[in-house]
Amino acid sequence: MLKHRLVFLRHGQTDWNAEGRLQGQMDIPLNDTGRFQAEKAGKTVLKLLGAEAVRSGAYSFVSSPLGRARDTMEIARAAMGLAPQDYAIEPLIAELTFGDWAGLTWPEVKARAPQAASWREGDKWSFTPPNGESYSMLADRLLPWVESLEGDVVAVSHGGVARALMAMLGGLATERAALADIWQGRVLVFANGRFDWV
């Protein structure tokens, strides 16, 4: 499906990440650790692709509209020696929404909605939180963006988006993709029907 190379960065850590809170599309800012991770990721991309490719325009740069992703992109671009704000915004690559569960920790979700939490644990890919999105719905949302890519791209987005892309582009079974660890401060490369962590 993907004809080009997609270099993917998950946004850096936020206080809600550190607390284990479900962020979804809540706009929570990076913390100091997250800013460090963003700079580290930018340096990794520069080393991976090379200064000439990064600065020549061979790669386009695109970010989720959420502030933590945009801040990660701008810090990473500065670490690459690029103008921080010279990138596109793509609403389709925003994180999935947790709906009524946004802001809660998993122990809080299990306490408030034990049956629904159990259903999600049984089929994380297809389960839809109340007023939220499933990974399956997220993959459907991402498809037009993936199909629109006309060249190699560096994207900053979210953990849920990375999991959906692992299934869509990397051949990972959906039940495994939904449970995959997505690290902050590292770089995930999708190409040739597979994915690799750098």
* Domain regions of the chain by residue span: 6-197
Distances from the Cα of 53 to the Cαs of 36, 50, 153, 186, in angstroms? 24, 6, 11, 19
Residue 101's nearest CA partner among 128, 139, 137 is 128
Helix (H) or strand (E) holding 123: none
Helix (H) or strand (E) holding 155: strand 153-157
CA angle 153, 164, 113 (to 5 degrees): 140
The pair phi, psi for residue 137, each rounded to 5°, is -65, -40
Q: Report H helices in the chain.
A: 15-19, 32-49, 51-56, 67-79, 106-112, 114-122, 135-148, 159-170, 174-177
**Distance (Å, whole) CA 51 – CA 185:** 19
pLDDT in single tens digits along all 198 residues of the chain: 788 999 999 999 999 999 999 999 999 999 999 999 999 999 999 999 999 999 999 999 999 999 999 999 999 999 999 999 999 999 999 999 999 999 999 999 999 999 999 999 999 999 999 999 999 999 999 999 999 999 999 999 999 999 999 999 999 999 999 999 999 999 999 999 999 999
**Distance (Å, whole) CA 101 – CA 2:** 33
CATH fold for the domain made of 6-197: Rossmann fold (3.40.50)
Place of tokens 């051949």: 171
Give bridge partners of residue 30 from the DSSP assignment.
14
Whether 189 and 196 have beta carbons less than 8 Å apart is answered as yes
pTM to 2 decimals?
0.97
Q: List pLDDT tens digits, range 154-176.
A: 999 999 999 999 999 999 999 99
Radius of gyration (C-alpha) of the chain in whole angstroms? 16
Residues carrying an active site annotation: 11, 95
Place of tokens 């801040």: 71
